[in-house]
Amino acid sequence: MTYTKFYSTAYQFLLAHLPTSITEASLQRYFIPERNGFSSIADVFEGFIESAQTQQMLPNVIKFRERHKQIKKILCNFNVARVIKTWDANTLYKEFRRQFNVTSTDSPKNCWFRWSEAVISIAKFLSSFKDANDFRGFIASFGYNAKTKMALPLLISIRIKGMGFSLVCNALKELGYSEYPKPDVHLKDVISTAGFCEHDDYAVFETIVNISNEVQYKGDKTATPYKIDKIIWLICSGNFYLDNINGKSWKREFVDEVKNGQPECI
């Protein structure tokens, strides 16, 4: 199975298993990043701290969107300079416990403490950029090819505590950088099963970018890494969140279909 054939197979499989209320036209909404841009470092900060709480149990504990108004107030309207001046990880953690009546065990493993560490680390990292354009220039400097793009989230993950490679990719793609797929467990399972690469964050990231490059070169300019990521994620999760439909996962069936093809990597 070539990269182009894989992409076509995945897209057609998704279309064949859409909930009845979703058309191909309405499906296209899922292939556009939610934020799809930013105008300030505060916007970038907001995107990164939200991505930092999308791991393991954190989303159900932090409830970022549900508590957005309160969190924004605590975090100085997402002004990174003021956040650094006002809080450190410990004091921020204590404030979150107080404001949200947190009763879970007080320990370094506490979800709120882990997120507080990430929030402060993100603020410190972003404080090195003078404005949004400075940050854009930084991102653009890594855009030469798949390997240089891969170096960007790797570097940021070293600088930010509590955000690994995959979470940084998620933050970037949701800010509108559609060339950054998130190599989560679904992508790793599917892409490695297809025989394109090992079950590894970096290898899967590079493979998704290469699939996108080939498909776009052959004429489909809509086939961004973000779109490929989302096609696989929707198949595997069945979560059509924009339509409030949490349906069946077709992961096993799709993996079986993919396994029948022999990869022909270029």
pLDDT of residue 212: 97
What SS3 class is residue 246?
strand
pLDDT of residue 265: 45
pLDDT of residue 109: 87
Alpha helices in the chain (DSSP H): 3-16, 24-27, 41-52, 58-62, 68-74, 80-86, 89-99, 111-126, 132-140, 146-159, 165-174, 185-193, 201-217, 225-237, 251-259
pLDDT of residue 231: 98
Torsion of CA 74, 75, 76, 79, to 10 degrees: 180
- For all residues of the chain together, what is the average pLDDT? 94
- Domain residue ranges of the chain, discontinuous segments joined by +: 3-33+180-259, 41-174
pLDDT of residue 263: 47
CA distance 252 to 190: 9
CA distance 1 to 199: 18
Q: Which residue stretches of the chain have pLDDT < 70?
A: 261-266
Residue type, 227: K
pLDDT digits (tens, 9 = 90+) for 128-148: 999 999 999 999 999 988 899
12 Cβ neighbours under 8 A, 6+ residues apart: none
Regarding pTM above 0.85, the answer is yes
